[in-house]
Homo-oligomer: A and B are copies of this chain.
Amino acid sequence: MSSEAAVTACVLIIGNEILSGRTQDVNLAHIATELNESGVQVREARVIPDDEAIIVATLNECREKYDYVLTTGGIGPTHDDITADCIAIALNRPLYMHPELEALLRQREATAEVMESRLRMARVPQGAQLLRHPRGPAGFRVENVAVLAGVPGVMREMLKSLLPTLNGAKPVRSRTVTAFVTESQIAAPLTALQQRNADVDIGSYPFPRDDRYATSLVVRGTDETKLDLVAAELTGLIESLGGEFFTP
């Protein structure tokens, strides 16, 4: 697919619990879908552990490579929440206690020890803009890096605050045709169709259904007229093979 003027992003999923298999990540799919609506294409995602050296190095590599980097996880008050500290190191911007967040976190009473821990969540790098959450502490954006929570419900609220600040291009749209057809049956004409239409991206995704194999063919691109044309050709192609269409 042509990537002219595409605006790109990388998602860094920070957390030992994802790498151990304990927790199933569900944030990537949501972030990718939402960013695309704002004209930003997720081109890579990495799952990395709660390790300062690894987070800092990965962040510095990816913020050079992509227009935006979004992180999830590691912004709570416990010892394994080190994302803000890592961003500060990577961007060479000291952390400070954001007055608005501090005031918010001091609203509920607590012992001095508990308050000190809680106030860790008020620390943001200098120059950061808050990504507000209506019912709790915020994420933040600094330069081209956005820092979001790992808990999905909280992450989604912070993402809503981020989206209007992004400078995106055209969203990628898609057309999907699904039929009882094997990938091998369709492979050769599909290759030819892709070659004749280099400005769209055609993906082929087989899956089992009723003891048979079905395939979803997905055409992706930014030009909707073009997508309709290619999808129509695809439909004709499956008809000519006698494939039975269905909606999965």
Contacts and interface: CB of A to CB of B under 8 A. Distances in A.
Instruction: Kindly report how many copies of this chain are found in the complex they form together.
Output: 2
A100 to B, nearest CB: 18
Interface residues of A, number: 67
Interface stretch (A20-28, A156-164, A226-234): A20-28
A30 B22 CA distance: 9
B24 A185 contact: no
A49 B203 CA distance: 11
A54 to B, nearest CB: 8
A28 B39 CA distance: 27
Contact of A187 (B45, B47, B50, B77): B77
Interface string A39-76: 00111111111100000000000000000000000001
A44 B42 contact: no
A188 interface: yes
A33 B120 CA distance: 32
A59 B207 CA distance: 26
Given A206-B151, A208-B151, A110 B18 contact: no
A79 B190 contact: yes
A91 interface: no
Interface in A176-223: 183-188, 190-191, 194, 201-208, 218, 220
Contacts of A5: none
Nearest to A105: B184
Contacts of A172: 20
Interface of A: 15-26, 28-33, 36, 41-50, 76-81, 110, 113-118, 120-121, 151, 153, 172, 174, 183-188, 190-191, 194, 201-208, 218, 220
- Please name the 6 residue pairs, one residue from A and one from B, whose CB atoms are nearest each other, closest first: A21-B32, A117-B187, A21-B33, A118-B184, A45-B47, A78-B204
Given A78-B186, A118-B187, 18 more contacts: A16-B201, A18-B28, A19-B43, A20-B36, A21-B30, A23-B29, A25-B29, A43-B49, A44-B48, A44-B49, A76-B183, A76-B206, A78-B187, A110-B185, A117-B183, A117-B184, A121-B184, A151-B207
